[in-house]
Amino acid sequence: MSPGLLDDVFPPPVRARLEETAELLDPSLISEFDSPDAVRALASAEVLLTGWGCPPVDAGLLERAPRLRAVIHAAGTVKTFLSPAAFDRGITVSSAAAANAVPVAEYTLAAIIMGAKRVFPLAGLYRARRTHRTGADLDRQHWLGTHGLTVGVVGASRIGRRVIELLRVVLDAEVLLYDPYVGAAEAELLGVTRTDLDTLVATSDVVSVHAPDTPETRGIIDARRIGLMRPGTLLVNTARGTLVDTEALTGHLVSGRLDAVLDVTAPEPLPAGHPLWDLPNVFLTPHLAGAQGNEVGRLGALAVEELTRYARGEPFAHPVHRADLGRIA
């Protein structure tokens, strides 16, 4: 984690709490686990406080950290750097994924509202023509609006659940959910209608993707399911680009049959000449739905809260278990 990002994640009030809770090693060691100073520090380290850009915490590193008891990740997924060997060692793990879910869900809600009102194509027309819109600016089948929407949520992840919560509070929407791990009782508590994925994509005005990237979910929104979507359906993807067949989706977007708000794509970024860059019914953003700017401090605050719990001998509020690895982002 770079010094600048370190300051963002742990702004002064959070850094003060951190320093009160634990004896800190030099943070510059985070990116230099193989240096002599890092080797000496790891020999005495009890907790690793990690973040974006953390080098692998693998079996080799664990051998050099015999006193390590916990890894607290001040960011989202731990799958990109943490070896399962840590769980084999009995090391407890925590992640700030719940804190990162907040801005992603907020972005998603904004995308659903703006997309349903067809803000993006109409704003482009307005900018190009400098005249007021007319009823003929969009095909009638593409007019949506936010009243009585049916929103299909793919994946009851932390983000998916927060999106559901926001939809129930903010919009007059029926929410359909596809998640094989959610049973009828839990769906009732969430206030959603559980359904199969084919039904969800075929009957939703908006399809919002929140599943993790696993072998089972890769390409889950494939050519056949994209073809099941009704004309005018809005696809929102803030999860992983690999969940959607980009090339199959492209044909439906080029024809104008579907709309999309895509914070992630496969590949990412798209090639410079890819048609999605220039389509009026597609809004692309550079993987920014997660914590940005002052939102990043929320991750550090959660991590320090977890460190405080550890210091008190209390269990983590946001643990990551080995069994979770196969179905988390």
**What is the C-alpha to C-alpha distance for residues 20 and 197, in angstroms, rounded to an integer?**
49
- CA-only gyration radius of the chain, Å: 22
List phi, psi (to 5°) of 92. Answer: -85, 145
Query: Which DSSP string corresponds to 288-326?
Result: -SS--GGGHHHHHHHHHHHHHHHHTTPPPSSB--GGGGG
Length of the chain: 329
How far is the first Cα of the chain from the last one, in angstroms, to the nearest whole number? 20
Active-site residue set? 240, 268, 287
Q: Which residues contact 188 (CB under 8 A, 6 or more apart)?
A: none
DSSP E strands in 55-122: the ranges are: 70-73, 92-95
Residue 213, classed as helix, strand or coil, is: coil
CB under 8 Å to 136, separation ≥6 — which residues? none
- CA-CA distance, 285 to 191, in Å (whole number)? 30
Quick one: residue 287, left, alpha or beta (phi over 0 = left, psi -120 to 50 = alpha)? Answer: left
CA–CA dist 219, 240 (Å, integer) = 10
